[in-house]
């Protein structure tokens, strides 16, 4: 007679199924949380950088210089008003063909981190879009041989997100100027090149007070080694010139996209 063997009262099969379900639901919950975090991050990146600075624009067309009868043009920017809100504002930038690039330029105070405005807005609030800014290696009056201006490559095209338009030859040829406003000056720069460069810190990699190092970078601007480049035909740069370099990131962490402008005029203003 076959011996009867009863089922073990501690059979683990149902417990294993229950455990698998728990693991499954936990995995689903984690995946959903990660997805939500990604959506939030994307929204911040997409909608960040949308600010209205219209209240700091001047409407006057000309003002008499207090030291003479000369009528100087009014500065388009009311620096007295904006610097009362934040003294770190040192300039303002506009770029031909890209209406959204109409921003104050900031430089952090001596006691603050050099890249404070990388992730802070004009009010000092933490913000992924950050601000357009220069580092303390540059003078606020843009008198250096090369002033580096940094801005994020935002997905919604704000900040420096639309600089990539200069990759297009027609757009590059039709939009020629960058305007920098500082207290008392309107600086006009002609765009001479736009190209992909590596991620080195340019101001730490070249001493622009030494002629051969300055000329080395200037030569790169005139004849970039990158395959992604636009260069103004016949453009030249010597150590007597003054340039600005707009720098933003690309989809490749080891690259930066640069737009270079050469100073062609410096107009004094009433403020």
Encode pLDDT of 106-139 as tens digits.
999 999 999 999 999 999 999 999 999 999 999 9
Q: What does the radius of gyration of the chain's CA atoms come to, in whole angstroms?
A: 27
CA quadruple 20, 25, 31, 33: dihedral sign: negative
70 pLDDT band (50/70/90 cuts)? confident
In a domain, residue 8? The reply is no
**CB of 235 within 8 A of CB of 245?**
no
pLDDT for 50 equals 54
pLDDT for 37 equals 52
pLDDT for 23 equals 66
pLDDT for 210 equals 97
pLDDT for 28 equals 76
Bridge partner list, 133 = 106, 150
Question: Could you tell me whether strands 71-73 and 62-64 are parallel, antiparallel, or unpaired per DSSP bridges?
Answer: antiparallel
In a domain, residue 69? The reply is yes
Domain that holds residue 239: 48-268
7 pLDDT band (50/70/90 cuts)? very low
Please, which residues have CB within 8 angstroms of residue 120's CB and are 6 or more apart in sequence?
126, 127, 130, 131
Q: What mean pLDDT do residues 221-249 have?
A: 97
Tell me: pLDDT of 239 over 90: yes
- CA trace torsion 209, 211, 214, 215 (10° rounding): 170
Tell me: pLDDT of 55 over 80: no
CA 139-115-178 angle, 5° bins: 50
Question: Alpha-carbon distance 75 to 99, whole Å?
Answer: 19
pLDDT in tens, 81-103: 999 999 999 999 999 999 999 99
In a domain, residue 155? The reply is yes
pTM of the model: 0.80
Which is more confident, 38 or 236? 236
What is the count of structural domains for the chain? 1
Nearest to 92 by CA among 171, 153, 149, 139: 149
Give SS3 for 133: strand
In a domain, residue 188? The reply is yes
Give SS3 for 104: strand
Question: Alpha-carbon distance 154 to 33, whole Å?
Answer: 24
Give SS3 for 71: strand
CB atoms within 10 A of CB 100: 16
Q: Give CA 29 to chain center in angstroms.
A: 36
Look-up of token digits 């939009």: 175
pLDDT for 159 equals 96
Give me the CATH number covering residue 194.
Answer: 2.40.260.10
Tell me: pLDDT of 25 over 80: no
In a domain, residue 11? The reply is no
18 pLDDT band (50/70/90 cuts)? low
In a domain, residue 14? The reply is no
In a domain, residue 225? The reply is yes
Look-up of token digits 């031909």: 96
In a domain, residue 13? The reply is no
């Amino acid at each position: 007679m076959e011996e009867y063997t009863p089922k073990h009262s501690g059979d683990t099969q149902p417990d294993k199924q229950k455990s698998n379900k728990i693991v499954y639901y936990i995995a689903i919950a984690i995946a959903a949380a990660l997805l939500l975090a990604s959506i939030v991050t994307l929204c911040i990146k997409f909608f960040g950088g949308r600010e209205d600075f219209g209240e700091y624009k001047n409407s006057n067309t000309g003002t008499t210089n207090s030291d003479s009868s000369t009528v100087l043009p009014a500065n388009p920017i009311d620096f007295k008003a904006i610097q009362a809100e934040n003294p770190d504002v040192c300039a303002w930038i506009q770029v031909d063909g890209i209406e959204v690039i109409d921003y104050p330029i900031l430089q952090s105070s001596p006691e603050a981190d050099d890249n404070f405005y990388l992730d802070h807005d004009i009010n000092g609030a933490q913000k992924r879009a950050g601000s357009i800014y220069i580092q303390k290696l540059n003078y606020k009056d843009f008198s250096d041989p090369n002033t580096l201006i940094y801005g994020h490559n935002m997905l919604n095209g704000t900040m420096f997100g639309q600089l990539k338009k200069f990759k297009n030859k027609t757009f590059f040829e039709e939009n020629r100027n960058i305007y920098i406003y500082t207290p008392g000056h309107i600086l006009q720069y002609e765009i001479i090149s736009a190209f992909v460069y590596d991620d080195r810190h340019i101001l730490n990699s070249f001493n622009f007070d030494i002629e051969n190092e300055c000329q080395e970078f200037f030569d790169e601007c005139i004849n970039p080694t990158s395959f992604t480049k636009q260069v103004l035909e016949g453009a030249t740069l010597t150590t007597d010139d003054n340039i600005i370099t707009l720098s933003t990131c690309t989809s490749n962490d080891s690259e930066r996209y640069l737009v270079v402008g050469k100073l062609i005029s410096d107009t004094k203003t009433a403020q």
